[in-house]
Every structure is written in structure tokens, then in C-alpha cells.
Structure 1
Amino acid sequence: MNLKERISEGVKASFVAQVVYALGTGALMIILARYLLTPDEYGLLYFALSILGVAQLVATLGLPKAGAKYLNEYLETDPGQIPHILRRTLTYTLAVTSVVCLALVTLSGPVATRLGHGEIVPFLVAGAAYVLFAGLDMSVRLAFQGINKLTWAAVVKSVSAVARLVFAVAFVLMGFDALGALFGYIVGFALGVAVGLWILYSRFYRTYDTATPDPSLSKKIVSYSLPLSVMNGAELLDKQVDSILIGFLMNPTAVGFYVLGKQIVDFASIPAVSLGATVAPALGTEKAGNRMQQAARLYEQSFVHMLLLYVPAGVGLFLVAEPTVRYVFGSEYLGAVPVLQIFSVWLVILGVAKVTTNPLDYLGLAGARARIRGAMAVSNFVLNLILIPRIGVAGAALATVVTTGIYVATCVYFMHRELSLNLDYLVKRGVLVCAVGVAMGIGVSIAVPYVSGLLTLAAVIGVGVVIWATTATASGALDVKRVMALLS
């Protein structure tokens, strides 16, 4: 399978998984927020999940990503090492995770007391299972990504998403409230792991002719996991510390407003996640084959297409933020509107990040990325401490936008230094994309005052999509034939 075919297959598989994941996550978000949980309960759930996210980071220590990197590398040079990499990565991850889960159960009371929310103790105790299965779920999906089997990674993600939706709703309806939703997350991840491990073992692990283990294999995996741990820690600190600080400095309801805004942006980032998951190992493969010019052209096209999609999307999200929150989630969540409007800028940054940050790891630049990520994580923490007491949840959103923007810009610089990108091409296409975004924004801003419910909201969004597609095609920014050829 050549590069174009591999990317096309990967994008389609990942996109389908992201659609299923987003639909499941979106449905769960709406059902929990609008019908089953109060804003306080909704915020409490995600306050606990933020803390568990930090525990999950410590539990994995960058090992799954390090394993994926060497799976991808040895796939080209020595496939007989694949079973050894899979086995050792999983063993190391399980060992560290077991220690973290035990510590989480033991320290749940003191942690809850220190944060001033004793009601999260049962969430943290049950969260040990969440940390275990969420970490294994990530390990399995990254293993498939490392051996360029994006379709199976997509299957695992889809199974987890659907099961999470079904069981979370069921447990809440059974009377377990927000804790029941957490049980649903645990069952969803557990089922995804079961399916993923079975596929990984039966279809791939047993099919490779095992070679004599590379004596330096364990050292390579552990050593490369260290900068990844720093980088993942910084990344998770950026993602979770804001929610934790909002809960600590304000209240769970404010956490709910903030998380809701983030979840809507995550929902909108589906295509970027799909393309990024495919481009990352593809760039690593091109570098392993010393095809740097082809790698540069691949990144440039990915970068431009992300701008074309997310600059107009960010403009549109800013304009429809208020009616979206009002008519989809209810007026009691209107406190999330300022957060969502600020995050409309973050959506654009996130689109670029998805095709830039993780690919750096596959190019061997995890250390450089870790340093800037760590610096920005500390900056984000400090900005949160300054801004949250002054302007509330909007301050946390603003801190995220500023620090993530600096981080992603630096990663683009690292990518340019590694691949020698055509900057003239990128700037010219960027200006054209901004013109498309302005045209779409004018049309949507005229239509927004007519929104009076879900149907008219959908109609206005549809108007924006039509204007975007028309102007992007007419200006030459979007090559429809090329896109269709990629997806065919």
C-alpha cells in the first residue's frame, strides 16, 4: 500500500471512528446535561474526571506512545521485534498503572479533603478502575496506530464510545446519578480494551515471526517515554488543571460551564483528530525511508486543509455560541457562552495542533516538544491562578488559548526546521483561507438574529456551510476533485 492509499484508508477509518465517538460523546453530553443531571452534578462528574485524568497520566508515563514510536520504526526495519515491543510496553504500563490505582484508592480521602469537596471520594475510589481501563484503551489504540492499522484503532474507539453512552445512561437511570455516569465510562473503556486486545493478539501478535530481542529495546522504550512523560504531563496539566482549579477556587457548577465549552470544541475537532492520527505515523515512515521532501509536502497539505476547515469553523462557532447553548443544553447553561466564544479561537489552534504536535514525536522530536509544552503548562497554571479569581471561567479559557497558541506556533517552527517547509505557499494559502472565513462570517452574522429554536439554528449553520463551500471552491482554496480522490 503506497503513501496516498495508506493516508486515504487511515483518514476514512479514523474519521468514521471519530464520528461514532463524537456522536456518542455528544449524545451523552446532551442527555446528561439537559435531562439527567443538574449543572452541579454535571460539574462534579467532570471535576472528578479531571483529577482522574492526572492520575492516568502518572499511570502511563508516556510508555504507550513510546511503544507506538518503536512499533512504527521497527515495522520498516525489523518486523520481528514487533511482538517484543507489544509485550514489553503492555507489561511496563500495567506495572506502573497498578501502583497508581492502589495509591488512588488509598489517598482518595485526603485528596478530596484538600480540594474541599468530600463528595468526590466515591468517584476517586471507583476511578481506580477508570484509570486502569482508560490507560489500557489508549495503549491498545496507539499500538494499532504504531503498526499503521488505523482501522482497528477506530474499531476500539467506536466500541468504547457506544458502550460508554449506553451504560452511563443506564446507570444514571438506575439511580446512581453522576457516579453512575462514571461507571458507564469504566464499562465502555473495559469493553474497548477487551475487543482491542483480542484483535491485536489474534490478528497481529501471532502473525509476526519473532526475532531475537534487540538487547537495547527495553532501554529505548523507557528512555523515549521520559520526554513523552514530561510532554504528556504538560499536555494533561493544560487540559485538566483548569477544571481542577475552577472546582477548587469556584464550584462544580462553574466546572460544568467550562467543561461544556471544551466538549463542544472537542466535538468540532473530529476531522483534525482523524487526519492527525493518520499523518503522524505516515511522517515517521517517510523519515525512516529518508523521504524528507515527500514528508514536507504531506505536512504542508495537511496544515493548509486544517486552516481551511477550522478558520471558518472558529468564526461560525463564535457567532452561534449563545443560541447553541440556549437551545441545545438549556438556559441554565448560558454561563458557558463566554467560554465557548473564547474557545472558538482555540478551535483554530487545535486544528493546527492535531496535524503538528503528535507528528513531531514520530520524527524523533519528542524532547524538543516536551520542553516547550512544559513551559506552557506552567504558564497556563500561573495564568489560571491570576485570571480565574478575577474573571471566572472565562479566565481559564483565555489562559488556555494564549498558552496553547504559543505552544503550537513553536511546534510549527520545529516542524519547519526539520522538514524545510515552503513558507511562501503556507502564507499565501493562509491569507486565502482567512478571506473565506470573513465571507462566511458576514453571511452567518446576518442570519443569527433569526434563530428562534433548534430548526432555525440548524438552518443558520447550514447557511454557513454553503457559503464556506461555495467561496472555498470558487477561490480555489478547496480542490473538490482532490478531496474526493483521497476519500474514494
Structure 2
Amino acid sequence: MTDALEARQPAGRGRMEGGAHGMTSGIRRKAGFLATAGLFEYAIQMALPVILVRHLTQQEFGDYRLMWLVASTGLILFPLFLPQSLVYFLPRATPGTRPKLVGNTLLSLFALGGLSVLLLLVLMPVLPGSIAGLQRYSPLVQIFVGTWILASILDVLPNADGKSEWQACATVGFAILRAAALAGAAVASGDVTWVLVAMCGAAMVKVGIALAYALFAAQETGLAFDRQLARLQLNYSLPFAVAQGFFLLRVQADQWVVATNFSNTAFALISIASTVLLVGTLTRQPLNDALLPKISSLVGAGKLDDALALIQKGYLVLGMMLPPVLGLLISTANELVELIYTREYLGAVPLMRIYLLGQMATAFAAGHLLQVFGFGRRAAKIGAISLLLSIALSILGLQFFGLAGVVAGSVTSLVLWECWALNMVSKALGTSIAQMIRLDQTCKVIVVVAVGVLVVHVLCSGLDTSVFLRLVVKSSVFVMTMLLGFVLTNMHRSLLSLLRETAEVTPDGRTS
């Protein structure tokens, strides 16, 4: 039937539609690989604390979380957006320049990682609050942070090089290795020091994997260096480094406020609550990673309508996936924390729900699209304002509402930032925010999710049974309510259309 239909079409149109289907199929395949890898990595990250909290004391677990706070802050401040800039440069690279781009990035990260080690050796003893207490683990903390910065290139390089399957395999393989090393160290020793030793070893392995990819698996293997090209990379990346730095520091501002005003046990609560931020990231990131290189190419070629179509399709898929997941987590937060972290950490539940509501309000984040349109300088300015606002609101919230106020202040500033980013991108594409994110469909989904959360609260709030059974019952009630809501609002047709469109596209780009 496909051949018969194609026989009635002009040849040019057939080729054009076949090419479009092929492009869509390729993007779906890449997104599928990356999404599967991301979800697996998230599952591993969620499973690891099940072991750690049962073999480390609350204070040691708080120290473990503080180490990751320092490491993640190092990743914000030192890499200067150089790994992410490869998404811009590698798809547009001329033959012979790929090894130079990768070599420049690795050399820069090595120097920046070394700088972070030196600064932490000097500054850690004078840092405020419980952070200064990490000095007793020197120099392991400093070594881990420096190596982790160098290893960050592996999070971007294979996908930017056009090999999403390689990226997915590296993500899954390293997630297993890291979890096994840290869990093994905790079980064998019951000492957070040995867990940190395992973290250092895992970071070194990650560097090795990145080097192996560059030397043996990249589209153009080998490493080279080019000072002029490095200057071009820095000129591109620095504005985004500042903008992303302000944004990510804003995301962490509430944790730093808690770390400087509370004990490491209290910090453990907010760090546990903030793990749900990964849900939004891991839902969006695979889709973003698959779409960004193509969107960048289309924008570079001036094909803004095609870029808008890709963005709209991505947001449509996101709108059907993310809000229901967030609603399910809101409904089952008590059971999840008790099951994973034990009842000692139930104080994280209210904080977790505030974070989830913030994720719901910013489901259609657009900050990642700013780099495609070259809005680095403006993003940096607004990011600085957002960071200061987040710190101010978190400190104010701390005075009136304690830990919950700190989280609420952070979430408020995030909502304002993403509203600005959406406005910037929609203007660049010559459309409205409502059209870009398919607001008509989005509102229906969010209403259905809200009803689902309410139904779970009304029907299941009095359950007095085991934590696992409560989790199963609440999840079942929420899912059934969502399915009924999708049918009543006709959203099931949009969902089936998306699934049918995916099923009808074959690898050769033709409809079956």
C-alpha cells in the first residue's frame, strides 16, 4: 500500500516526506536510547541510598551528601560550559577539526580540574557551616572533585559526536560500576571514608572511558590541540558558562543556605528531597539531547519553522509524560521515602512535595534552548538576578518557615527563570508561548493530574498497612484515575496518535 500511495505522489514530495520520516525516526531512536539509559541511571541512583543509609550513620550519610554538593558545585564553576559546547561545534565541524575540539576540551578540563583541587585545599578549612567539617576527609574530597570535573566530558561527548547508542551504553555501564563500587565500600567497611575512596576510583575510570572513546570510537579518532580553535570555543562557551552557572547555583542555593545554617543531618533531609529534581531532568534530558543537535543545525541554516516544529513535537511528548510522573510522586512521597531511606528521613517528604510542585510549574523548561539561539549574554544577566533572588527568598523563607521556606524560595525563582526563557525562545521563533508548548493540551493533562492526586488523598489517606502495600494501592488508584481522565478529556486520542506515529515509522524512513 505504501508503494501505491507513493506512486501517486510527485517524486520530489515523496523524497521530502521520506526524508522527514527518516529524520523523525532517527531522533526517536536516539531519544529512546538516551531515555532508557537515563532512567536506568536514575533507578541505580535511587537504589544506592537503600544500601548507604543502612550502613552509614545519619551524620556520615549527611557528609556523603555534602561531598556531592561540593562536587556538583565544582561542576558548575569550573568546566566553563566547554563539554556542552561540543553540542554546538561537533555537528558543524569540518573534516579534521573534531580531534582538535575534543583535545582542546580535555586539556582545558584538566587544567580547570587542577585549579579546583588547589582552591579547595586552601579554602575548605574556612568554608562556613558543616562544609568545613569535610576537611577531615582531605585530600580525598579535593581529588574527587578535580577528577570529576575532568570526567564530565563523557556526559556529552558521544552524543555530540552523533553516537547516542555509545552515550547510552557508557551511561549504563558507568552507573552500574559506580553503584557497585560505592555500595561495596559501604557494606564492607561501614565507613564513609572508604566510600569516598571508591568515588575517586570511579571518577578515574570515567576519565578512562572518555579517553578510550576519543582515541578509538569517535567519528574522527585521536586528540589534537589548536590554540585558535580553543579561543573560539571559549568565546562561545563563556557567556553560557556564566548563565548556566548562575542558573545551577540558583538550583543549589537552598542547599547551601541549609548547609551553612543547619547540621549535616538537616542537610541530609533537603538533599534527599532534592533528588526528585532528577525526575524532570531525566525525563527532559534524553529528548533534549536527541533534539538539540538537529535544532541547532536548523537554526544555523535559518529554518526556524522546522526548528519550531521539532520543539513543539518535543514539548507534546514531554507534556504527556512528565506531569503524570510528578503527580504520582506527589501522591506516594511518604511511602517512597520510607521504603528507600527508612522512617528516620520522613522529614524530607514536605520538602520533596514542594520541589515536585515546582517541577510541575516548570515542566516545559526552555533554558537549554537558549544556547541554540546565542542568548548567552542575556541569559547570564538574568541568571545573576535569579541567583540573587533565590538566595534572598531562601533566607527569607528560612526565617519564617524553616526548611520548607528555603525550598519554596528556591522554587519561586526557578519558575520566574523558566518563564523568561520561554518568552525569549518563543520570540526568537516568531510564535507565542502558548503555541510553542501546546498549552491547550498541557492544561488538560495538568487538570487530570491534579484530580488524580486529590482522589488518592481522599481514598487512601487512612490506609493502615505495610509501606509496600500502601505504595501499590496509591499508585494503582492514581494510574486508574489518570486513564479515566485521559478518556473523558479525549487526551487518549493524542496519546494514541503519538504511539501510532512512532509505530508507523520504520528505520528506512517510510510509513508501513
TM-score strictly above 0.5: yes
Q: Is the partner of 2:326 in helix, strand or coil?
A: helix
Between the aligned partners of 1:203 and 1:105, the Cα distance in structure 2 is 36
The worse-fitting range, judged by mean Cα deviation, of 311-320 and 152-161 is 311-320
Give the CA deviation at 1:335.
1.0
The worse-fitting range, judged by mean Cα deviation, of 270-279 and 254-263 is 270-279
Change (3 A) 1:207 1:55: closer
Change (3 A) 1:135 1:483: farther
Contact 1:169 1:184 in 2 (8 A): no
1:249 has 2:268 as partner = no
1:415 has 2:425 as partner = yes
Give the CA deviation at 1:134.
2.1
Give the CA deviation at 1:429.
1.7
Give the CA deviation at 1:97.
1.6
The worse-fitting range, judged by mean Cα deviation, of 333-342 and 133-142 is 133-142
Between the aligned partners of 1:327 and 1:83, the Cα distance in structure 2 is 47
Change (3 A) 1:384 1:19: same
Give the CA deviation at 1:393.
1.7
| Structure 2 residues without counterparts, runs of 5 or longer | 1-18, 506-512
Contact 2:87 2:292 in 1 (8 A): no
Deviations 1:354-403 (Å, cap 9, x if unpaired)?
xx222221332233322222211111112222222432221221012101
Between the aligned partners of 1:6 and 1:248, the Cα distance in structure 2 is 47
Change (3 A) 1:484 1:384: same
Between the aligned partners of 2:217 and 2:32, the Cα distance in structure 1 is 21
Give the CA deviation at 1:470.
4.4
Counterpart residue type for residue 486 of structure 2: A
Counterpart residue type for residue 411 of structure 1: A
Between the aligned partners of 1:22 and 1:407, the Cα distance in structure 2 is 25
**Cross-structure match for 1:11:** 31
**Count of paired positions:** 478
**Cross-structure match for 2:7:** none
Give the CA deviation at 1:484.
5.4
**Cross-structure match for 1:147:** 161
Task: Give the ranges of 4+ consecutive aligned residues of structure 1 lying more than 6 Å apart after TM superposition.
Answer: none
Contact 1:48 1:124 in 2 (8 A): no
Residues 15-414 of structure 1 aligned to structure 2 (within 5 Å)? 15-33=35-53, 35-74=54-93, 78-111=94-127, 114-115=128-129, 118-123=132-137, 125-175=139-189, 177-204=191-218, 206=220, 216-267=228-279, 269-349=281-361, 351-353=363-365, 356-414=366-424
Change (3 A) 1:378 1:446: same
The worse-fitting range, judged by mean Cα deviation, of 165-174 and 476-485 is 476-485
Between the aligned partners of 2:464 and 2:77, the Cα distance in structure 1 is 46
Between the aligned partners of 1:437 and 1:220, the Cα distance in structure 2 is 46
Contact 2:239 2:376 in 1 (8 A): yes
Give the CA deviation at 1:436.
2.2
Between the aligned partners of 2:418 and 2:23, the Cα distance in structure 1 is 26
Between the aligned partners of 2:56 and 2:105, the Cα distance in structure 1 is 39
Change (3 A) 1:483 1:188: farther
The worse-fitting range, judged by mean Cα deviation, of 170-179 and 274-283 is 170-179
The worse-fitting range, judged by mean Cα deviation, of 20-29 and 462-471 is 462-471
The RMSD of aligned alpha carbons is 2.6
Contact 2:299 2:373 in 1 (8 A): yes
Change (3 A) 1:73 1:206: closer
Q: 2:458 aligns with which of 446, 455, 468?
A: 446
Q: Is the partner of 2:371 in helix, strand or coil?
A: helix
Contact 1:62 1:225 in 2 (8 A): yes
Contact 1:272 1:306 in 2 (8 A): yes
Change (3 A) 1:64 1:349: farther
Q: Is the partner of 1:101 in helix, strand or coil?
A: helix
Query: Between the two proteins, what is the percent identity of the paired residues?
Result: 17
Change (3 A) 1:154 1:189: farther
Give the CA deviation at 1:476.
3.8
Give the CA deviation at 1:349.
4.1
Give the CA deviation at 1:39.
2.7
Give the CA deviation at 1:5.
2.4
Change (3 A) 1:249 1:9: same
The worse-fitting range, judged by mean Cα deviation, of 131-140 and 443-452 is 443-452
Contact 1:47 1:252 in 2 (8 A): yes
The worse-fitting range, judged by mean Cα deviation, of 295-304 and 268-277 is 268-277
Between the aligned partners of 2:374 and 2:383, the Cα distance in structure 1 is 16
Give the CA deviation at 1:333.
0.9
Give the CA deviation at 1:94.
1.3
1:465 has 2:479 as partner = yes
Give the CA deviation at 1:184.
3.1
Change (3 A) 1:247 1:207: closer
Deviations 1:147-169 (Å, cap 9, x if unpaired)?
23222222222222111211111
Contact 1:39 1:253 in 2 (8 A): yes
Between the aligned partners of 2:235 and 2:323, the Cα distance in structure 1 is 38
Between the aligned partners of 2:136 and 2:290, the Cα distance in structure 1 is 38
Contact 1:65 1:228 in 2 (8 A): no
Counterpart residue type for residue 274 of structure 2: K
Give the CA deviation at 1:122.
3.6
Bigger radius of gyration among the two? 2
Contact 1:227 1:367 in 2 (8 A): yes
Between the aligned partners of 2:373 and 2:336, the Cα distance in structure 1 is 40
Deviations 1:173-197 (Å, cap 9, x if unpaired)?
2325223333333333332332232
Between the aligned partners of 2:265 and 2:243, the Cα distance in structure 1 is 30
Counterpart residue type for residue 24 of structure 2: K
Give the CA deviation at 1:328.
3.6
Between the aligned partners of 1:398 and 1:289, the Cα distance in structure 2 is 41
Contact 2:98 2:220 in 1 (8 A): no
Q: Is the partner of 1:23 in helix, strand or coil?
A: helix
Contact 2:70 2:145 in 1 (8 A): no
Change (3 A) 1:214 1:42: closer
Contact 2:391 2:410 in 1 (8 A): no
1:480 has 2:510 as partner = no
Contact 2:49 2:340 in 1 (8 A): no
Give the CA deviation at 1:230.
0.9
Contact 1:133 1:193 in 2 (8 A): yes
| Structure 1 residues without counterparts, runs of 5 or longer | none
Between the aligned partners of 1:183 and 1:160, the Cα distance in structure 2 is 16
Give the CA deviation at 1:259.
0.7
Contact 2:104 2:226 in 1 (8 A): no
